[in-house]
Amino acid sequence: MGRQPCCDRVGLKRGPWTIEEDHKLVHFILNNGIQCWRTIPKLAGLQRCGKSCRLRWINYLRPDLKRGALSEAEEDQIIELHARFGNRWSKIASHFPGRTDNEIKNHWNTRIKKKLKQVGIDPLTHKPIDQEKYQQEPDDTIMELNLPNHYKTETYDKSNEAENCTENATDFSVSNNAYHNMLSENFDVDLWNKSCKTMSNCYSPTLSLEAEESIKFSTVSAVTESSSNIAPAEEQDSLQQWMDSIFSCAVNQLEEDLFFLRKYN
DNA sequence: AAGTATCCCAACCGCCGATAG
DNA sequence: TCTATCGGCGGTTGGGATACT
């Protein structure tokens, strides 16, 4: 026979995740890693299906997620990649470390699509909707909207669609604007520092401040705490490596955050 | 201030290829 | 080889937040 079902769906919770649920999931994964999504909710004490846990982790709780709005450079790159790959969001997202396919998809559907239509470019084909109109109108309309260079030329270069294009390593940088905006809007540096200490990088920006105060699971304690569900010794090593990478990732992000705080403060 | 429209995004749905049994 | 599930993906939507009248 085939595999066992993912979940029995009976009594499973749906809808928005609560702080407690997030806490349980993050705590469990930091301690045990990800082996089988189907078993995670049961072992973590969650009334959710594995699929829902996976989605929540990937799109929201992963420590290496980048927060903040997408920069113009990122937006430009999304447009270029979309011209090459179409709606293959996971493929596009792979060029943006710390960004999720869902985030990029949402950004495309809510903003970029609109922006392209405004300047008469079909977001599906990446070609001018009305060729004649665009031969009459000057390119500076497009320039004003900061579109990628290949839209500023008269003809669209078909070679952009070629799959065999060199896979450029993304010149990725944290959105300075986001940090600048935070600081210019009476951003509370003390609170920020405090929340960094409680691993807020893993956490949802929708968390209330009070709730954030109560989150005490640090990455250090996660490494040292007993991991009841890990058995073989060789798995301990790989788990330790995984934990180390998560931890170093969180530390790197923290350093990056502090760098920009100092720079713009 | 209240009602309505629009925007935004987290989460769900359903499909599909890979794979366990 | 076949069947059924898992994991991953893209499309869609519900509802909170914000803007507008």
pLDDT in tens, A134-190: 444 433 333 344 455 555 443 334 334 333 333 333 333 333 333 333 333 333 333
Question: Range of A39's domain?
Answer: 17-59
Alpha-carbon distance values, A167 to A87, A105, A170 (Å): 17, 20, 9
E strand or H helix that includes residue A96: none
C1' of nucleotide C8: residue with nearest CA: A90
A184, part of any domain: no
CATH number of the domain residue A37 falls in: 1.10.10
What's the Å distance between residue A66 CA and nucleotide B21 C1'?
A: 40
What's the Å distance between residue A73 CA and nucleotide B19 C1'?
A: 40
What's the Å distance between residue A177 CA and nucleotide C1 C1'?
A: 58
Residue entry with tokens 């493929």: A91
What's the Å distance between residue A136 CA and nucleotide C9 C1'?
A: 41
A82/A118 same-domain check: yes
d(CA A186, CA A14): 36
What's the Å distance between residue A102 CA and nucleotide B9 C1'?
A: 9
The DSSP code for A8 is -
Length of chain A: 265
A55/A101 same-domain check: no
A75/A114 same-domain check: yes
This prediction has a pTM of: 0.62
Alpha helix positions (H), chain A: 19-32, 40-44, 50-56, 72-85, 89-93, 101-107, 113-118, 131-136, 140-144, 149-152, 176-184, 189-197, 209-213, 219-224, 233-264
Each residue's pLDDT, cut to its tens digit, for chain A (265 residues) gives 444 444 555 678 888 999 999 999 999 999 888 888 989 998 999 999 999 999 999 999 988 888 788 888 899 999 999 998 999 999 999 999 899 999 999 999 999 988 888 888 888 888 887 653 544 443 333 334 445 555 544 333 433 433 333 333 333 333 333 333 333 333 333 333 333 333 333 333 333 333 333 333 333 233 323 333 333 343 344 434 444 444 444 444 444 444 444 443 3
Is the C-beta atom of A56 closer than 7 angstroms to strand B? Answer: yes
CATH number of the domain residue A116 falls in: 1.10.10.60
A164, part of any domain: no
For residue A90, give the nucleotide whose C1' atom is nearest its CA.
Answer: C9
Is the C-beta atom of A5 closer than 7 angstroms to strand B? Answer: no
A78/A49 same-domain check: no
- Bases in strand B with any atom closer than 7 Å to a protein CB: 7-14, 19-21
Domain count along chain A? 2
Is the C-beta atom of A39 closer than 7 angstroms to strand C? Answer: no
C1' of nucleotide C9: residue with nearest CA: A90
A237, part of any domain: no
Q: Are A218 and A247 in contact (CB under 8 A)?
A: no
d(CA A260, CA A178): 10
A38, part of any domain: yes
